[in-house]
Amino acid sequence: MVTKYPAEPFRIKSIEYVKMNTREDREKLMKECGYNPFFLHSEDVYIDLLTDSGTTAMSDRQWAGLMMGDEAYAGSRNWYHLESIVKEYFGFKYVVPTHQGRGAENILSMIAIKPGQLVPGNMYFTTTRYHQEANGGIFKDIIIDEAHDPVIDLPFKGNVDLNKLQALIDEYGAHQIAYVCVAITVNLAGGQPVSMQNLRETYELCHKHGIKVFIDATRCVENAYFIQEREPGYANKTIKEIVLEQFKYSDGCTMSGKKDCLTNIGGFLALNDEDMFTEAKELVVVFEGMPSYGGMTGRDMEAMAIGITESVDQAYIEHRIKQIRYLGDRLLAAGVPIVEPIGGHGIFLDATRFCAHLPQEQMPAQALTAALYVESGVRGVERGIVSAGRDVNTGKDHIPKLETVRLTVPRRVYTYAHMDVVADGCISLYNKRETIRGLKWVYEPKRLRFFTGRFEQV
């Protein structure tokens, strides 16, 4: 039987109790936190949709794998298991382990970017762009224009605009492009996928000009599901086959194991170029750990190896995508503005329309995030002008076209009943949206300011 919203393909073996504070408690806590939900204690959050990074519920097989951890400082058997799994499922020749995805981003940026070079990508992500810019790169957005419009419904809204990429090559020359970074899926566009055709054409264009392509593989399994569901010729291919084909059209990838690898920590950099691999191995010792653990424990590496094999299970990934679709469909039915189409890892409330009474300089997405917690005990995260940061040269705010609140659903953690609580909270707040007050800075960090910044109400 095929259902629109399939039931959870698992049974619950262990539970964690949560509590709902009173509204008065939440108002007090949010003010004390400087209207930044990152400062909340997790025990004060009823439903935590801050991120899907490292918040996965691991399986019984993964927990069993933890007991098989070989904690040798060098040459852990768990590393060799993980390395073999990554090569099998991703298809790259070389693997460098890191403590999480940003460790891989940092190493790749150090070995692949010369100061002043461009790094085109299909929309920025916060930590990715930071590492690129910190190593002298200049980010250039080459995603299709439609990705910046929250109401346009396209099957592959994360696609690279090949004309934009060609224009950069024509204007600056291929030698001035460090590499092209393609995210699958595109986080800040709303978890939007990239088609296999677009991956193939981007790779062909780049290699015609001698430019390398690196994939941000963080949610590659989710991207594969959308390809299977939406792209002609892939309906009868397995998720594992589609994942592997995606990486044929790249020279390497960075991976945060905390998302689609179904673990709570870890990551890796995968490469095909032996010289880059040699340099990356030298740097991993400096910044992460030995090339046979890279900041992870043996038990973490074992859990990741098992998680990769579980992530491509058809029942798992279908439930994953459709649970989020259920939440999005409930919000759309109530008229709550969200980014469309519904993406792969969360729902993105469109703060520009939700808080139409607030100008962007009053940080409507940050204000909406704080208000949603007070209203419902649900913690989301701002993805707008605060996350976009400042231009490293001019010091002026980046002004993103999308001003959103990301409600990111952890994997295998919540039920449809939890999604109903989230939907009810969003709908209730939307019905009194003009009560949401704008924010201004109290403390603005110089780097990745959305993590530790503090605000007060205007």
Pick from 256, 326, 342, 333: which is nearest to 51 by CA?
Answer: 256
Tokens representing residue 135 in the block = 């190593």
Pick from 144, 101, 449: which is nearest to 265 by CA?
Answer: 101
**Residues identified as active-site:** 73, 125-126, 216, 259, 383, 450
Q: What per-residue confidence (pLDDT) applies to 2?
A: 55
Q: What per-residue confidence (pLDDT) applies to 1?
A: 45
- What's the average pLDDT block by block, 10 residues per block, for the chain (458 residues)? 83 94 97 96 97 97 97 97 98 98 96 97 91 95 97 97 98 98 96 98 98 98 98 98 98 97 98 98 96 97 98 98 98 98 97 97 97 98 93 90 96 97 98 97 92 94
Element (H, E) at 275: helix 274-287
Q: Give the number of other Cβ atoms within 10 Å of residue 290's Cβ.
A: 17
CA 44 from centroid of its chain's CA atoms: 24
Q: What per-residue confidence (pLDDT) applies to 352?
A: 97
Q: How far apart are CA 10 and CA 5, in angstroms?
A: 15
Q: What per-residue confidence (pLDDT) applies to 236?
A: 98
* DSSP-derived 3-state class of residue 28: helix
* DSSP-derived 3-state class of residue 382: strand
Q: How far apart are CA 306 and CA 59, in angstroms?
A: 9
Q: How do beta strands 138-141 and 439-443 pair?
A: unpaired
Pick from 98, 82, 95: which is nearest to 290 by CA?
Answer: 98
Pick from 202, 194, 195: which is nearest to 250 by CA?
Answer: 202
Does residue 192 contact residue 406 with C-beta atoms inside 8 Å? no
Q: How many helices (H) and strands (E) does the chain have?
A: 17, 14
Pick from 149, 426, 93: which is nearest to 270 by CA?
Answer: 93
